[in-house]
Amino acid sequence: MLILAVLFGILFFGVLMWLRYYTNHGQKLELPDYVGMEYSKAESDAGDKSFQLIVNDSIHIVGRKGGEIVDQNPEAYSKVKENRKVYVTLTKYNADVLKVSSLGVMYGQDYESKKNELSHLSISSEIKGYNYDTGEPNHILEVWYKGQPIITRNGRKDNIEIEKGGTLQFVLSKKQGGYVAIPNLNCTTYGAAKFILESSNLKLGEVNDSGPINDRTNAYVLSQDPPFIAGETISMGEYINLTIVQERPSNCN
């Protein structure tokens, strides 16, 4: 009878354990939040909780170190069965790169427009300096990367690789700052003098009449300030003052 009682107890205990396993088998568990964790730590935690992490994709994010989980599927706190596969996206250790050839035309382009376009590619822009140019102001004359020119008026280095998150430096155009020879306006008509000044990127200053002026356009330049000196230059955008006379001066050839 004792042996029978022992066997019955063992059988009863076995049935209880089987029922417990059967009841818990397939039970849904809450999935942890792995976003922001290092992959190695998340993988260890998932293994302890009967989940399996699978790297589905990797992306570069400026300012984030590599190996961090930035997305998971199913989402955190979802109810899933044990042994569930969890697909994750990691940050890359190395930045993505773009070749200069893929950045489109930059020389001669408006800086602000190009700056906005590059920002969508995770490339920053900053102004390195300005050079005089006869074209519109604030247009791109040179592009530099890591201390080296990669785009100039002489061409571009298409195979240079630009890291996402990197910075391009730009030299832009400006109207002022260049120099031109002082034009000889003496003995020209007032109308011709204005045309010459405009063509030379200079401005007309004070105009003084020497005697009565009946027809200003066809009056003659008697003198100018600063005076014409062969080989002398003046900054573009500067003013030249004129003294005009109605009749052609006697010393004009």
Q: Parse the chain into domains and list their residue ranges.
A: 29-94, 97-174, 179-245
Average pLDDT, the chain: 86
Question: CB of 44 within 8 A of CB of 69?
Answer: no
C-alpha 54/C-alpha 178 separation (Å) is 62
Residue with tokens 């920053």: 124
| Residue 2 reports pLDDT greater than 60 | no
Give residue-wise pLDDT tens across range 141-167: 999 999 999 999 889 999 999 988 899
* Burial track 156-168 (b if 16+ CB lie within 10 A, e otherwise): beeebebbeebeb
Determine the length of the chain.
253
Per-residue pLDDT tens for 60-114? 777 788 889 889 899 888 888 888 889 989 888 877 888 999 999 999 999 999 9
Highest mean pLDDT among 8-12, 47-51, 247-251: 247-251
Per cent of the chain over pLDDT 70 is 89
Q: Which CATH number fits domain 29-94: 3.40.50.620, 3.30.10.20, 3.40.50.970, 3.40.80.10?
A: 3.30.10.20
Threshold 0.75, pTM exceeds: no
- Contact of 108 with 156, CB cutoff 8 Å: no
| Residue 176 reports pLDDT greater than 80 | no
Report the C-alpha gap between 64 and 83 in whole angstroms.
30
Decide if 81 contacts 34 (C-beta within 8 A).
no
Q: What confidence score (pLDDT) does residue 179 get? A: 81
Q: Is the pLDDT of residue 245 over 90?
A: yes
**Eight-state DSSP code of residue 38:** B
Please, how many CA atoms are within 13 Å of residue 128, restricted to the half-sphere of its CB?
19
Q: Is 98 in contact with 164 (CB distance < 8 Å)?
A: yes
pLDDT in tens, 8-29: 556 555 544 544 444 444 567 8
Mean pLDDT along residues 118-141: 90
Residue with tokens 């003496």, as numbered in its chain:
186
DSSP 193: H
Fold match flag (29-94 vs 97-174): yes
Q: Is 79 exposed, middle or buried (0-12, 13-18, 19+ CB in 10 A)?
A: exposed
pLDDT for 174 equals 84
Which 3 state secondary structure label does DSSP give 71? strand
Q: Between the CA of residue 236 and those of 109, 199, 226, 229, 239, what are the distances in Å?
A: 23, 11, 13, 16, 9
Residues 6+ apart with CB under 8 A from 9: none
Q: Pick the more confident residue, 50 or 190.
A: 190
Query: If you average pLDDT over residues 165-173, what whole number do you get?
Result: 92
Could you tell me if 84 and 52 are in contact, meaning their C-beta atoms sit under 8 angstroms apart? yes
- What is the structure's pLDDT at 182? 93
Under DSSP, the state recorded for 41 is H
More confident residue, 183 or 2: 183
Strands 220-225, 140-145: pairing is unpaired
Q: How would residue 49 be classed by pLDDT, with cut points 50, 70 and 90? A: confident
CATH class of 97-174: alpha beta
179-245: CATH topology: Trypsin Inhibitor V; Chain A (3.30.10)
